[in-house]
């Protein structure tokens, strides 16, 4: 639930290739692969043989931001962000969060807030509000739910700023 690569797979629309000796190969979308704590769509007789990441469209920038207690620890919260700009407008937005649920989570409401907007501070503020609005992260010995939700908002903003900068937008 707090690993980085599942968030990247989810945010980019990756496909995971699974193979069984008895049934052959099947492909599963990243959004359908992660089912819960330490639970995936893998059947008992399958292994993961490949992960296919789509080629990013022109004008796409991405950024990953995370907060951990110590260097090398799993993230308390993390965000993978991808923005595609077309003519100064956000044509596609993807945000995946980790550490806020038992699986990586896409925040579609926040993505929808961004599409069609210029990458401005106001647009990013609206997306941050939408991203954290429905979050119900767990509390544990590392962080309370309220703290995780607060950190998620900060990291969504940082990741959006970074993705906008990487795509050629300024994010300010």
Q: What digits encode the pLDDT tens for the residues 17-48?
A: 999 999 999 999 999 999 999 899 999 999 99
* Model confidence at 171: pLDDT above 60: no
Q: How confident is the model at residue 72 (pLDDT cuts 50, 70, 90)?
A: confident
In the block, residue with structure tokens 């962000």: 81
Q: How confident is the model at residue 73 (pLDDT cuts 50, 70, 90)?
A: confident
> Within 10 A of 21 (CB to CB), how many other CB atoms are there?
8
Q: Is pTM beyond 0.85 here?
A: yes
CA-to-CA distance for 145 and 4, rounded, in angstroms? 20
Is 55 strand, coil or helix? coil
Query: Strand pairing partners for 39?
Result: 36
* Model confidence at 172: pLDDT above 60: no
> Within 10 A of 4 (CB to CB), how many other CB atoms are there?
15
Structural contact between residues 90 and 119, judged by C-beta atoms closer than 8 angstroms? yes
CA-to-CA distance for 52 and 159, rounded, in angstroms? 23
Q: How confident is the model at residue 2 (pLDDT cuts 50, 70, 90)?
A: confident
């Amino acid at each position: 639930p707090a690993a980085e690569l599942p968030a990247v797979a989810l945010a980019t629309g990756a496909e995971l290739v699974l193979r069984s000796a008895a049934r052959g190969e099947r492909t599963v979308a990243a959004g359908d692969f992660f089912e819960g704590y330490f639970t995936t769509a893998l059947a008992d007789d399958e292994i993961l043989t490949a992960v296919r990441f789509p080629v990013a469209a022109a004008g796409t920038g991405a950024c990953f931001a995370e907060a951990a207690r110590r260097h090398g620890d799993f993230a308390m919260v993390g965000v993978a962000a991808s923005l595609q700009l077309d003519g100064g407008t956000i044509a596609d937005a993807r945000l995946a969060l980790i550490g806020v649920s038992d699986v990586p989570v896409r925040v579609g409401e926040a993505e929808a807030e961004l599409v069609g907007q210029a990458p401005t501070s106001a647009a990013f503020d609206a997306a941050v509000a939408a991203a954290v609005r429905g979050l119900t992260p767990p509390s544990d010995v590392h962080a309370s739910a309220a703290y995780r939700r607060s950190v998620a908002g900060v990291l969504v903003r940082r990741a959006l700023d970074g993705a906008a900068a990487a795509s050629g937008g300024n994010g300010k």
